[in-house]
């Protein structure tokens, strides 16, 4: 596939199970290595970047939060142990996480709170791109709505490019931005999210929207 993501925009990647959505996401910051082709970030092939540096610029949020033993603050400071208490609070503020939770053990948090902490940890590196792998799939409706608001805020207020895998056409419609439809590892259709979901232009798009494959 060939596609150029523009800075400071929201992109949702949709498609049936096994279509390569998460695989694509993992290639973009070298969590997995491509067998061919190339990915260019800021004018350089991503293989010219040190992996650690690249992943600070292109952060990844997993479907299930992976936090470290200790406090919320410990998890936020993982990428930079020299962060001041004020910087930790700023990261918490960006994901609407209460300050009184910063010193709380991560094991005491709800799943929705854990996902916010994981997002705060990602933002602590000041990334230019955030890769989100179905970030709300394990959350209840209230926490899903809260995370969706945060995603929109990252784009509109902070200018972060968000590339998100979603299993929900309804979520893609709510968030807006651009949508990319993948099937069998190929990009088959892309465009404004509302247009792609409400009026797909390909047979694969129509089948997906009509629920003919999951």
* DSSP calls for 129-168: EEEEESTTTTS-HHHHHHHHHHHHHHHHHH--EEEEE-S-
Model confidence pLDDT, tens digit, residues 54-102: 999 999 999 888 898 899 999 999 988 889 999 999 999 989 899 999 9
Q: Give the integer Cα–Cα distance in Å for 73 and 9.
A: 29
For the whole model, what pTM was predicted?
0.92
Q: Does the structure show a pLDDT above 80 at 118?
A: yes
Closest CA to 184 of 201, 207, 161: 207
Q: Characterize the bridge pairing of strands 178-183 and 186-192.
A: antiparallel
Q: Give the integer Cα–Cα distance in Å for 44 and 26.
A: 18
Residue with tokens 């809260």: 146
Q: Does the structure show a pLDDT above 70 at 14?
A: yes
Closest CA to 131 of 38, 41, 19, 35: 41
Q: What is the pLDDT of residue 214?
A: 54
Q: Give the integer Cα–Cα distance in Å for 166 and 97.
A: 23
pLDDT (mean) for 183-210? 92
Q: Give the integer Cα–Cα distance in Å for 212 and 106.
A: 40
pLDDT (mean) for 160-177? 95
Please state, for a pLDDT cut of 90, what percent of the chain lies above it: 74
pLDDT bracket for residue 173 (50, 70, 90): very high
Model confidence pLDDT, tens digit, residues 136-168: 988 889 889 989 999 999 999 889 999 999 989
Q: Does the structure show a pLDDT above 90 at 104?
A: yes
pLDDT (mean) for 38-67? 93
Q: What is the pLDDT of residue 77?
A: 93
pLDDT bracket for residue 212 (50, 70, 90): confident
Q: Which residues contact 210 (CB under 8 A, 6 or more apart)?
A: none
CA distances from 22 to 36, 104, 166, 180, 187 (A): 17, 32, 10, 13, 13
pLDDT (mean) for 189-211? 91
Q: What is the pLDDT of residue 72?
A: 96
pLDDT averaged over every residue in the chain? 92
């Amino acid at each position: 596939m060939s596609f150029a993501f523009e800075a400071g925009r929201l992109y949702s990647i949709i498609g049936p199970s096994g279509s390569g959505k998460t695989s694509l996401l993992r290639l973009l910051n070298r969590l997995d290595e491509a067998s061919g082709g190339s990915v260019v970030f800021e004018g350089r092939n991503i293989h010219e970047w040190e992996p650690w540096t690249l992943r600070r610029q292109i952060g990844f949020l997993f479907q299930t939060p992976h936090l470290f033993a200790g406090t919320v603050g410990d998890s936020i400071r993982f990428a930079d142990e020299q962060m001041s208490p004020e910087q930790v609070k700023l990261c918490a503020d960006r994901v609407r996480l209460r300050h009184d939770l910063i010193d709380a053990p991560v094991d005491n948090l709800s799943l929705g709170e854990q996902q916010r902490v994981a997002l705060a940890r990602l933002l602590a590196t000041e990334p230019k791109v955030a890769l989100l792998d179905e970030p709300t799939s394990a959350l209840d409706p209230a926490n899903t709505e809260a995370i969706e608001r945060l995603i929109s805020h990252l784009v509109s207020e902070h200018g972060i490019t968000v590339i998100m895998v979603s299993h929900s056409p309804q979520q893609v419609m709510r968030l807006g931005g651009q949508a990319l439809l993948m099937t069998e590892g190929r990009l088959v259709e892309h465009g404004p999210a509302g247009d792609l979901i409400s009026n797909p232009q390909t047979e694969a798009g129509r089948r997906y929207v009509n629920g003919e494959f999951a």
